[in-house]
Structure 1
Amino acid sequence: MRAQVPLTAIVPTVGREGMLADALASIAACDPRPAELLVVDQSGRGAGELAADGLDITVRVLAMAQHGISVALNAALREATHDRVLVTHDDCRVAQDWAGVAAELLHEDPDALWTGRVLPDVEPGRDPSLVPSTIDDPEPAVYAGVARVDVLYPANMAVGRAAVLDLGGFDERFTTAAEDNDLCLRWLMAGRTIRYEPRLTVWHRDWRSPQDLRALYRRYQLAQGALLAKHLRLGHAAGRRLALDTLVWSVRGTAHRWAHGRRIDETTASLTHIPLGLARNWRAMAPVRDD
């Protein structure tokens, strides 16, 4: 029997059964394996059970009627058997040593939030730069002392679940995106450390059409606007810096895209949809009172 490490691997899904089955199979192939594999299924049609069928690993499926990535992750953090958890997404595959490396890293620094490489998984002839949310930096990095939103890759992270829940978990007002940016900022503002380790590796599938990718980036930008609304309304300096940095990033990125033929990239729709998301979510992102 293959060795196990005392970790819970978490995979939220909205029902992409084929890709989810590949994701779960890659986790089942880990050596050592995580002691628990927990799927949060928001598909409403039993996608988790279907994808897990026939695997030689026990998969615990938590079916949820409520939608939203933050809701799914918070439920998984509360339900996980083990305090140390690994998270990936249903359109990713993990390296065979993923769980083993994570166990090693969390033993090395159990208080850090660890993240790692997210490599594009593309067919020959496809452009790997069109796969969103990837990173292939070969050098480890430590982030602490400076509040920022861009150093956590949610499709590949390892952390102690109690620490995330103690911070309030993921903000469930972020339903489709930016929940990772918000946690990243709050984690660093709380004086905690995020560490990037390239040995912790997953591959992100290339499955979106250009139309799908444009729609995805529009959702990202609306969510980024909501993130700005939240942290500007909180009135802290990090929120003001975030607003300025976002403006500079958006203007520079848009100018670069236009200079190179309006290609699709992470700044697509940023000049229109970030302000739109800010306006739409200004009231909803009022500071939460702790009565």
Structure 2
Amino acid sequence: MVDGRFFRLGDERVFLQLITYGPLPGGWPEDFEGDFKRIAATGADAIRLYQHAPRRLLDAAKSCGLRVFQGLEWPHACDFLGNGGIAPGLRAMEDACIENGHHPALAGVFVANEVPADLVRWMGAERVREALEALIHSGKERWPHLLWAYANYPSTEYLEPGNADFTAMNVYLEREPDFRAYLRRLHHVAGDRPLMVSEFGLDSMRNGEERQAEALGWGIRACRELGTAGVAAYAWSDRWWNAGAEVKDWSFGLIDRQGEAKPALGAVTEAFAADPEPVPETSAFSVIVCCRDGRERIGRCLESLRMLNGPEPEVIVVDDGSTDGTGELVETRFPEVRLVRLEAGGLSAARNAGAAAASREIVAFTDDDCEVDPDWLIELGHCFESGWDAVGGPNLPPPPSNAFEAVIASAPGAASHVMLDDLEAEHVPGCNLAVRRTTYFAIGGFDPAFRTAGDDVDFCWRLRDAGMRIGFAPNGFVWHHRRPCASGYLRQQIGYGKAEALLMRKHPRRFSPSGDAIWKGVIYGGGPVRVEGEAVIYHGSMGMAGYQGVITRMQPLRPLFGRFDRPACRLLLKLLTWIAPRLRSQARIGRFRGPLPPQGTLTETPDAELAIYVSGGRESVLRKLLDLGWEAGGPTDGWDVQKDGTRVLVACEHFDDGASRLRIRVWGDGSRLPDFDSIGA
């Protein structure tokens, strides 16, 4: 099951260690036990398949202590939206799960693997994402106990299904610094959910067996050290079957074609068994929780602080003039907590009082409606070791218990972090903010003018203006309970608007003339990074960039939690999404104004489409068109080449029997296209 940004098996949080298995020439072997015993001996706890798992495979996996993530076999490497939609995928799901969906060895399902980037562009990125989401939605309805995902890759980074249980990315980078840098990027792509590297390996035929072993070793260690939820070593054997033929021109296996171990097998075994990083010194933290009339909330928060891993921090509760017995509850139930009582003076004044009472090197703030993850301070501590002046992490909504909680968790206006790049934050919310005491007092702490909200924005801006920097710990998260009802949520949004009015007066240069905050970084709203609406995608020239992402200043919000994704909830969410920003704007600038609509590009109807079988492939055809004087399109254009006003998009379908078919879309005069037989396509 999913546990925040990790996986959990029973009561234990686990780092999933997988090895990919098959497809093999000649089909499944008669006996799996020999292979599975060797796989289990590496320390792997799961295998990843690309096919439907027969029951005898699952039985063998169970007897060897392995869990199975299986794939669905359907033609997702062709224009499936133009030829029957996802019906073949749904049939494959039925075949794969109707008999074995409740087998104890089956842990999850990948509904597809790497839909080719050129075909995604051809079919429409948002339509493809919605098709993948429809497959996942159908699977979750029938088999909700399984984990569901799409195995993505960097060329369609924008294609993350919003309703997947985790982000899975196949990554092949041959230099460790590049791999580590991309993992940091993927934490932001994943949003709130776990990140799995669903394939990582190196071809020993081209790179040598020793280099393959070295790469698998540092790759697995990097995945563990940088907080992914799991990694799949690719692949078990050099024997491999793809597109109707045995693959003989590359060798990614841990064992060779004769079944003999390669050095990579030992490297994976060693990396799987490696001890985790040393735990940083969490006793250097003073944790400050400010509260007013929070008797019903603060107990859960303080209980979670009792469950922190590592040495005990100093915990300080600042009671900001409560009249509901909050202070008495803290004194009675939590005698280890230091209680500071104040006359009601507002959130910023309470936080300053807590920092003044703190005795440790780092002051960490959370709210009384939050529950911290057991490794919260460990993750923040690892980040502080890199020299940051302040550090923050995500705040995740707990799984909703009712429809209102689900809708409000997905509504706009939740506390969000703003990232300048994959490491440095421009802003982190005050419910998950830690800062060195010397830094805190050097900039004067929080401004008491901000009594309920806006204080963290002002604090982060002043901190950065003083030349100090904020790091981000993607796995240092807290569970943040949202408002329990629509009216409470809307009152909160109005309060945020009033706080933003104060911010405008104090920091006028950080707001546009229309009253919108000007951020240098990207706002992350908790949802996985994915294409929506008229989003602009960086494809690279002729759609050939290896890493293709969405270009935006605000990433998508959280989708509705699975079992609450139904018409009534969608309608309420749509209503709140419309009214909340307008109420916030009214409180901020006195105008009932919504967000500006996205500025997308006009989608034109093509003048012609062609389909031809080819031998050379898409890139060969495009090169020949360039040789004939056609010009390449730009990195965000929806077409590949143009000449004299005629634009052309090219995609290539791949079929299971190894055949390929070129699809050509034309805007303008199709007679300008050459005869493809004459150019050898």
Task: Give the TM-score normalised by the residue count of structure 1.
Answer: 0.77
Aligned equivalent of 1:53? 332
Aligned equivalent of 2:511? 242
Partner amino acid, structure 1, of 2:414:
S
Unaligned runs of 5+ in 2: 1-280, 519-553, 555-572, 592-681
DSSP 3-state at the match of 2:473? strand
Aligned equivalent of 1:70? 348
Task: Write out aligned runs for 1:20-59 (5 A).
Answer: 20-45=298-323, 46-51=325-330, 53-55=332-334, 58-59=336-337
Aligned equivalent of 1:142? 424
Distance in 2 (CA, whole Å) between partners of 1:174 and 1:102 is 26
Distance in 2 (CA, whole Å) between partners of 1:230 and 1:186 is 11
Contact 2:362–2:435 (CA under 8 A) maintained in structure 1: yes
Task: State which of 438, 448, 451 in structure 2 corresponds to 1:162.
Answer: 438
Q: Does 1:88 align with 2:373?
A: no
Q: Does 1:227 align with 2:227?
A: no
Task: State which of 569, 577, 582 in structure 2 corresponds to 1:263.
Answer: 577
Aligned equivalent of 1:129? 410
Deviations 1:92-150 (A, max 9, x none): 000001122222322332x421110100122254222148534599995314xxxx6xx
Contact 1:9–1:34 (CA under 8 A) maintained in structure 2: no
Distance in 2 (CA, whole Å) between partners of 1:221 and 1:199 is 29
Distance in 2 (CA, whole Å) between partners of 1:142 and 1:4 is 22
The Cα shift of 1:177 comes to 0.9
- Pair 1:36–1:49, CA change in 2 (3 A): farther
The Cα shift of 1:202 comes to 0.2
- Pair 1:157–1:212, CA change in 2 (3 A): same
- Pair 1:262–1:208, CA change in 2 (3 A): closer
Aligned equivalent of 2:119? none
Aligned equivalent of 1:176? 452
Q: Which structure ranks higher in relative contact order (CA pairs < 8 Å, sequence separation ≥ 6)?
A: 1
Partner amino acid, structure 2, of 1:274:
R
The Cα shift of 1:273 comes to 1.1
Task: Note the aligned Cα RMSD (angstroms).
Answer: 3.0
The Cα shift of 1:192 comes to 1.3
Unaligned runs of 5+ in 1: 233-238, 254-258, 278-291
Q: Does 1:214 align with 2:483?
A: no
DSSP 3-state at the match of 2:499? helix
Aligned equivalent of 2:395? 118
Structure having the higher Rg = 2
Distance in 1 (CA, whole Å) between partners of 2:374 and 2:332 is 20
Distance in 2 (CA, whole Å) between partners of 1:132 and 1:248 is 13
The Cα shift of 1:14 comes to 0.7
Partner amino acid, structure 1, of 2:347:
I
Contact 1:131–1:204 (CA under 8 A) maintained in structure 2: no
Aligned equivalent of 2:588? 274
Contact 1:119–1:136 (CA under 8 A) maintained in structure 2: no
Distance in 1 (CA, whole Å) between partners of 2:357 and 2:438 is 11
Partner amino acid, structure 2, of 1:231:
H
Aligned equivalent of 2:72? none
Contact 1:34–1:99 (CA under 8 A) maintained in structure 2: no
Matched positions, count: 253
DSSP 3-state at the match of 2:459? helix
Aligned equivalent of 2:470? 194
Contact 2:411–2:577 (CA under 8 A) maintained in structure 1: no
Distance in 2 (CA, whole Å) between partners of 1:206 and 1:261 is 17
Contact 1:8–1:34 (CA under 8 A) maintained in structure 2: no
Task: Give the TM-score normalised by the residue count of structure 2.
Answer: 0.34
- Pair 1:120–1:262, CA change in 2 (3 A): closer
Contact 2:416–2:428 (CA under 8 A) maintained in structure 1: no
The Cα shift of 1:159 comes to 1.0
Distance in 2 (CA, whole Å) between partners of 1:137 and 1:230 is 20
Partner amino acid, structure 2, of 1:32:
G
The Cα shift of 1:217 comes to 0.7
Aligned equivalent of 1:11? 289
Deviations 1:207-233 (A, max 9, x none): 43111111111111011011101123x
- Pair 1:248–1:172, CA change in 2 (3 A): closer
